[in-house]
Chains A and B, each alone.
Chain A
């Protein structure tokens, strides 16, 4: 059963990835004007030879479908092209920027999801009371505070209250593990806030759903304590939609990381993307977007499978 679901999803996945790759491929071709001239714009001396060489290197002198075929087969064999300015393989550039982003998103996700469960449970048990209403407004606020603004305010507060604390910038984990984690705290918090708010609301409504179900009434009737009812039974059931949203959250996280990395000077994929845009480094931009999007799709695929595995209704 699960295999059939997996097979079906895998087919969908292949289609989506193919479409996505085409869209990313089309990027350079969608640039109005001569993309090659624009790419070389910031360079000092643009000669017709250089333009022709770059055009050939990017394959822009070939028919469109041939270009796509060549590009796709290169990508499938792991060749993402070369960065326009540094000349380094794009794969190496991405590899050099991937860890800070992964670390930031994972810490933010753990922080957000970890705090969301108790907060959501509290809100569910306080349903209808003023504390629930207040928390609800607070969570909406959490959803709508832009992470970059929150980040800037945190930096401002820190530099006024504790100017000697070194909590900004980035040091690799391998160099200074403690310093690395300390510097991750603020950006992870800024990034985690909307996730925390979103998931807390989700846990709340899933819990309320679950609490209204028959089996909970049975559990109550059996004389189990309210706490046992809430935590053992309702929560277990509420986790299913929670897991699904976590997959969708990674998409938000990857996007949000772009802005937060800029504010906190974290050398991750977001900085790579923004840098590539301002340099008009399309080969780099194209590949980075492809990698981020592909990982987003794959994570959601994995979550889908997980979902099918834990939810009996889907399996059936």
Chain B
């Protein structure tokens, strides 16, 4: 409990993955788009660690760039959802009244859609590109953040120290920024990490269904979808790209989980 191997382990895992993705242009051994028809379908070797695909492109390099693409979409989407949904939830909890009622009913409407279905619907409207996948994921997670933030924000808004700050005449903005936000930080951190994990999976599913990143750009979900066509004679493409998705999603989920244990006092005894 004291040394928290899960937390440290997951932070190391996530850091390594994120660094590898960010540094893809410098550490990838090959150009992810460079084709070499003579080197197609090479199994993993010293030259190509994870083999090559149908066009002779290096799987490892494509995975690094693919992880970068997946992370970009997921981070942008979850960031937007956090900004919009979080703000809505915070304001709703703080001001209560009709503001709360309207925004929460609105969120209920979005929340009523199963996640994948809503995402697919948004992409169906906007057309299949990586940016519409990002919009779709942001739309899906906005109500989730709004609800997640609203509940603890309600508690904090009626706490003694917020009441106290009000009593000494602090402005609403000041209370929101200096008193409410810092107390919500741990919830936000935990949920962002967990939802990033889920967003990575949604992005991969969309790309897998042909509704996200389009070829020839590398994306883990797309690589998996391309790899399944040649599964029986060069399984490494689908196997490794799927593994990449799992590692990313697993890292963020485990980190969120371990963070929750660390930061949520209610669960502290249960680790």
Residues of chain A at the chain B interface (Cβ within 8 Å): 12, 15-17, 19-20, 23, 27, 30-32, 127-128, 133, 136-137, 140-141, 143-146, 148-149, 152-153, 156, 159, 205, 208, 212, 251-252, 254-256, 258-259, 262, 273-274, 277, 285, 289, 292-293, 296-297
Known: A277-B120, A293-B114, A296-B112. A144 touches B197 (CB 8 A): yes
Contact of A156 among B121, B231, B246 (CB under 8 A): B231
Chain B, residue nearest A300 (CB)? B112
Contact of B257 among A30, A140, A274, A277 (CB under 8 A): A140
Q: B114 touching A23 by the CB < 8 A rule?
A: no
Chain B 163-207: CB-based contact to A (< 8 A → 1; otherwise 0): 000000000000000000000000000000000010001001100
Answer yes or no: B45 CB below 8 A from chain A CBs. Answer: no
Contact of A19 among B106, B250, B270 (CB under 8 A): B106
List of B residues within 8 angstroms of A146 by Cβ: 201, 204-205, 208, 224, 242, 245-246, 249
Contact of B124 among A20, A212, A285, A296 (CB under 8 A): A285
Chain B 236-271: CB-based contact to A (< 8 A → 1; otherwise 0): 001100100110011001100100000000010111
Most chain B CB within 10 A, of A205, A251, A255, A274, is at A255
List of A residues within 8 angstroms of B114 by Cβ: 251-252, 254-255, 292-293, 296
List of A residues within 8 angstroms of B6 by Cβ: 133, 136-137
Provide a sorted-by-A list of 5 A–B residue pairs whose CB atoms are within 8 angstroms.
A19-B105, A144-B246, A146-B249, A262-B209, A293-B117
List of B residues within 8 angstroms of A32 by Cβ: 125-127
Answer yes or no: B115 CB below 8 A from chain A CBs. Answer: yes
List of A residues within 8 angstroms of B113 by Cβ: 20, 289, 293, 296
Q: A19 touching B109 by the CB < 8 A rule?
A: yes
List of A residues within 8 angstroms of B245 by Cβ: 146, 149
A17 to B204: give the CA distance in the assembly, Å: 30
A19 to B105: give the CA distance in the assembly, Å: 9
Chain B, residue nearest A208 (CB)? B270
Q: A16 touching B115 by the CB < 8 A rule?
A: no
Q: A258 touching B242 by the CB < 8 A rule?
A: no
Chain A, residue nearest B116 (CB)? A255
Answer yes or no: B44 CB below 8 A from chain A CBs. Answer: no
Known: A19-B105, A156-B231. A137 touches B254 (CB 8 A): yes
Min CB distance A302 to B, Å, is 14
Q: A140 touching B250 by the CB < 8 A rule?
A: yes
Chain B, residue nearest A21 (CB)? B109
Known: A144-B249, A146-B246, A152-B238. A127 touches B270 (CB 8 A): yes
Q: A258 touching B120 by the CB < 8 A rule?
A: yes
List of A residues within 8 angstroms of B117 by Cβ: 254-255, 258, 273, 289, 292-293
Answer yes or no: B48 CB below 8 A from chain A CBs. Answer: no
Q: B208 touching A252 by the CB < 8 A rule?
A: no
Known: A146-B201, A293-B112. A141 touches B120 (CB 8 A): no
Residues of chain B at the chain A interface (Cβ within 8 Å): 6, 105-106, 108-110, 112-117, 120-121, 124-127, 197, 201, 204-205, 208-209, 211, 224, 228, 231-232, 235, 238-239, 242, 245-246, 249-250, 253-254, 257, 267, 269-271
Min CB distance B20 to A, Å, is 18
Q: A153 touching B115 by the CB < 8 A rule?
A: no
List of A residues within 8 angstroms of B127 by Cβ: 32
List of A residues within 8 angstroms of B108 by Cβ: 12, 15-16, 19
A256 to B115: give the CA distance in the assembly, Å: 9
User: Given A146-B204, A258-B120, 8 other A-B contacts at CB below 8 A?
Assistant: A27-B124, A141-B250, A149-B224, A152-B238, A259-B116, A262-B209, A273-B117, A292-B114
Min CB distance A33 to B, Å, is 10
Known: A156-B232, A277-B120. A252 touches B250 (CB 8 A): no
List of B residues within 8 angstroms of A12 by Cβ: 105, 108
Q: A205 touching B246 by the CB < 8 A rule?
A: no
Chain B, residue nearest A23 (CB)? B109
List of B residues within 8 angstroms of A128 by Cβ: 271
Min CB distance A239 to B, Å, is 18
Q: A251 touching B115 by the CB < 8 A rule?
A: yes
Contact of B116 among A23, A152, A208, A258 (CB under 8 A): A258
Min CB distance A27 to B, Å, is 6
List of B residues within 8 angstroms of A252 by Cβ: 114-115
A27 to B250: give the CA distance in the assembly, Å: 34
Min CB distance A32 to B, Å, is 8
The 4 closest A-B pairs by CB, nearest first: A255-B116, A19-B109, A149-B242, A144-B249
A178 to B208: give the CA distance in the assembly, Å: 31
List of A residues within 8 angstroms of B270 by Cβ: 127, 205, 208
A259 to B245: give the CA distance in the assembly, Å: 16
A32 to B269: give the CA distance in the assembly, Å: 53
List of B residues within 8 angstroms of A277 by Cβ: 120, 124, 211
Chain A, residue nearest B206 (CB)? A259
Chain A, residue nearest B101 (CB)? A15
List of B residues within 8 angstroms of A254 by Cβ: 114, 116-117
A152 to B249: give the CA distance in the assembly, Å: 18
Contact of B209 among A159, A208, A259, A293 (CB under 8 A): A259
A277 to B206: give the CA distance in the assembly, Å: 13
Known: A31-B125, A146-B201. A152 touches B231 (CB 8 A): yes
